[in-house]
Amino acid sequence: QARADRLQTRSFSPADQSILDRQRQLDRDLRRALGRNQLRLNFQPQVDLKSRNVIGAEALMRWDHPELGPVSPAEFIPLAEETGLIVDLGRWILFEACQQAAAWPSPITVAVNVSPIQFQHVDLAATVANALRSSGLPASRLELEITESSRVTDPGRVHAVMWQLRDLGVRLAIDDFGTGYSSLSYFRDLPFDLVKIDQSFVRDRTSAEDHRLLAAIIELSSKMDKHTIAEGVEDEPTARLLTEMGCTYGQGYYFSRPISGENLCKLLSQPHRQ
């Protein structure tokens, strides 16, 4: 969108051309990457802030491009959403994540990011049910992280699909909480279990207002009977502050960077998990 605005407000430059060339290449190559083992999932542990036990992990997509090197999901996911490729990509992520998580000790959960586009274009609940069935992962150990998006044209459909997912027994989290437009109405309108506080509220606390805002999000969520997970926890003082504020779970570089499925399995098999 920002790109389109820029193109309209000033003349077309060589820099614009190279952005477009890269996007065209990424779009074309992403389609092939799916079938060529260039895509994989990393997992970032999520901990219970009181006990510091690992209780789950978020699946994060990685793409090693043969010529361009690692491409960030922050770059290729929006592109895949634009072209609709996110539907096939999202299906692959769900199956792959459930498959790997089925080998983890119970009740460790896997959290999977779901694009709003997947709500619009496919029978998401059927895809999720298939992924659970073919992997053998119990529904209670799958959590879906859902982000608000201006691309969603039919909020009524999102609402209906969320109820279908709820009925399957999977857990639902609102991702990047606090950064969207209508976060507060979610509490009234949408069925979910967990509020995921965006890292911008967790990492950049410079004023007393920042502290009070973070505390207010946690308190509001808890009053609405939701658990909270803070992302972007980078140090012990932040972990301690969040615990004191009543936040349930934490995730961030302080506990662990995103790691390979293999390394996560090693971590989970240690007798005293961090």
Q: Does 77 bind ligand C2E (CB under 6 A)?
A: yes
Of 16 and 183, CB closest to ligand C2E: 183
Phi, psi of 238 (to 5 degrees): -65, -45
Of 96 and 198, CB closest to Ca ion: 198
Phi, psi of 173 (to 5 degrees): -120, 140
Closest CA to 176 of 241, 114, 117: 114
Pairing type for strands 54-65 and 39-48 reads antiparallel
Rg (CA), the chain: 19
Interface residue with ligand C2E among 45, 56, 232, 250 (CB under 6 A) is: 232
Of 81 and 198, CB closest to Ca ion: 198
Pairing type for strands 171-177 and 194-197 reads parallel
Of 104 and 177, CB closest to Ca ion: 177
The distance of closest approach from Cβ of residue 76 to ligand C2E in the complex, given in angstroms and rounded to an integer, is 9
Interface residue with Ca ion among 44, 46, 135, 147 (CB under 5 A) is: 147
Q: What SS3 class is residue 144?
A: strand
Q: How far is CA 186 from the centre of its chain?
A: 17
Pairing type for strands 109-114 and 69-71 reads unpaired
Closest CA to 170 of 146, 199, 201: 146
Q: Does 148 bind Ca ion (CB under 5 A)?
A: no
* Interface region with ligand C2E, contact rule CB under 6 A, candidates 53-61, 99-107, 136-144, 242-250: 53-61
For residue 137, give both structure tokens.
């992962």
Q: Does 93 bind ligand C2E (CB under 6 A)?
A: yes
Q: How many beta carbons lie within 10 A of that of residue 79, not counting itself?
A: 17
Please state the length of the chain.
274
The distance of closest approach from Cβ of residue 80 to Ca ion in the complex, given in angstroms and rounded to an integer, is 14
The distance of closest approach from Cβ of residue 253 to ligand C2E in the complex, given in angstroms and rounded to an integer, is 4
Cβ(261)–Cβ(45) below 8 Å: no
Q: Which does 202 bind (CB under 5 to 8 A by kind): Ca ion, ligand C2E, none?
A: none
Q: Does 29 bind Ca ion (CB under 5 A)?
A: no
Q: Does 45 bind ligand C2E (CB under 6 A)?
A: no
Of 45 and 245, CB closest to ligand C2E: 45
Interface residue with ligand C2E among 115, 135, 221, 228 (CB under 6 A) is: 115
Q: Does 44 bind ligand C2E (CB under 6 A)?
A: yes
How many angstroms separate the CA atoms of 237 and 264, rounded? 25
How many angstroms separate the CA atoms of 79 and 24, rounded? 9
Closest residue to bound ligand C2E by CB: 252
Q: Does 238 bind ligand C2E (CB under 6 A)?
A: no
List residues binding ligand C2E (CB under 6 A).
Answer: 44, 59-61, 72-74, 77, 93, 113, 115, 175-176, 199, 231-234, 252-253, 258
List residues binding Ca ion (CB under 5 A).
Answer: 113, 145, 147, 175-176, 198
